[in-house]
Structure 1
Amino acid sequence: MKEQRTVARFLAEHELDAPPAYRLLDLTAEIGELAADANESTDYGSSPDSISVNSDEVGDALFALLSLAESLDIDAGEALDEAVAKYESHIEATGDAGSDR
């Protein structure tokens, strides 16, 4: 995935190596910032149609996720392909994308 290579180059160039556990914590924090945007924009759920999140926060979450994948030596593109195939299989089997696990 081109985006993962971009993140990997950035991390190497700026010597931003970190263990996977820290990458996961960073990802969790970034997802929390998306949730905060959603909470605030919907008046904590009372106006769900008014949801808004900042695109830079989505970018931060993507950066953190791709950094995690890189630190775990997981190809994000392949992982995404696997997920889509899994959802397609669930839809074919049950008519729903959700997992029954």
Structure 2
Amino acid sequence: MDAQARVSSFVKEHDLDAPAAYRLLDAVSELGEVSKEVCTSTAYGADPSAVDVSDDELGDALFALFALCDVLEVDGEAALETSLAKYEERLVESGGAGSGE
């Protein structure tokens, strides 16, 4: 079973269904917690080499993103493959992965 299916099953099993807007807010909140760990561990950027983020916080962020994908009926793995292909194309065309906007 892939990660998104595991999250979907967990959400259903524990009656944690929520609309997409709430799932998005949860994902943003979890990424905020990751950001907090980065800021704290690096003394707000003073020591970038000291970055430390717990697996637990990254796992929470992944859970939230997979739950969002599930409620939107988006295959997270397929979305990632699409993004990787897009970045690969940009690297070939422009030498950078950014959108250039």
Q: TM-score, normalised by structure 2?
A: 0.97
Quote the Cα distance in structure 2 between the aligned partners of 1:69 and 1:95: 30
5+ residue gaps, structure 2: none
Partner of 1:41: 41
Identity %: 47
Determine helix, strand or coil for the equivalent of 2:27. Answer: helix
Provide, for residues 48-81 of structure 1, a one-character-per-residue CA deviation record: whole Å limited to 9, x for no partner: 1100011100000000000000010000011000
Determine helix, strand or coil for the equivalent of 1:98. Answer: coil
Determine helix, strand or coil for the equivalent of 1:97. Answer: coil
* 1:74-89 map, 5 Å: 74-89=74-89
Determine helix, strand or coil for the equivalent of 1:77. Answer: helix
Quote the Cα distance in structure 1 between the aligned partners of 2:43 and 2:76: 34
Q: How much does 1:100 deviate?
A: 1.6
Determine helix, strand or coil for the equivalent of 1:96. Answer: coil
Partner of 2:59: 59
After superposing on structure 2, the runs of 4+ consecutive aligned residues of structure 1 that deviate more than 3 Å are none
**Letter of the 1:84 counterpart:** L
Quote the Cα distance in structure 2 between the aligned partners of 1:11 and 1:78: 21
5+ residue gaps, structure 1: none
Partner of 2:6: 6
What count of residue pairs does the alignment treat as equivalent?
Answer: 101
Q: TM-score, normalised by structure 1?
A: 0.97
Partner of 2:91: 91
* Aligned CA-pair RMSD: 0.9
Determine helix, strand or coil for the equivalent of 2:52. Answer: coil
Farther-moved stretch of structure 1 (73-82 vs 1-10): 1-10
